[in-house]
Amino acid sequence: MLKCRYVAVDLAGHGLSSHRPAGVLYTFPANVADVRRIVDGLQWTTFTIIGHSMGGNIAALFSALYPEMVNAFILLDAYGFLPTDQKEIPKVMRQGMDEMLQYEKKTEEKKRVYTYEKAAERLQAANPILSERSVHTLLERGLVQGEGGLVFSRDLRINFTNIVRYISLEQSLEIQSRIQASVLVVLGDKGFGATTGPELYPRRFASKLLQGYYDRNHTVVTVAGDHHVHLNDPEVVAPLVSDFLRTKVFSQHLPA
């Protein structure tokens, strides 16, 4: 039996990872550079990368920039890229910068302190599609001990508009074409594509990106579930991932 090693990464500003320095924006290229640092530290030359939502978009960009390092790529409820109409790009870039500048003008505020139960309620209210089990899973690395109670470990700046994720559809398709790895795309029928408004992610963008995967004989599957189907119902997604790895990755390493 082939043994696998899984490394789950807390990106900067998430979980128990440190935050980016003051004045530094969170961007997709910076996250890709962090993934490369991690891979170098692990001394991996090739590997499979799995990403959900934002993590999936980071994984797609990494797979395009370093195609020789990625032998398979699994995308969970994301299209790999977030194209924006070219006329809108200056507006959203300015929005991201303005959000950061306004944040920097605020006086340093003490983080809100919670009991575990109140923190769970807060997370559930902010993400009502999460199951109770998923809430507890996320809180395992989402809370740290603070003065007088528990505080959320995330950096609030990760919610600001990402000024570098906004590229045109043409640029997205060109970058997508550089991916050489075998790709599995798993979408929830009530997930990202079904819940985002047309002004944020026009259907034509999604169809063009999906067509790019189809044209290169990659696998696209839609399952019953929402944006967090992999977390809420792992038994729905896990067999698809396992079968894909078995046929696209493991079979290449097993003795004849």
Residues designated catalytic: 53
Look up residue 16 and give its two tokens.
């128990």
Q: Are the C-beta atoms of 53 and 33 separated by less than 8 Å? A: no
Greatest CA separation for the chain = 64
Distance CA 162, CA 225 (A): 27
Written as one string, the DSSP assignment of 143-159 is EEEETTEEEE-S-GGGG
Helix (H, G, I), strand (E, B) or coil at 220: strand
Distance CA 138, CA 182 (A): 29
Q: Are the C-beta atoms of 20 and 155 separated by less than 8 Å? A: yes
Q: Are the C-beta atoms of 88 and 65 separated by less than 8 Å? A: no
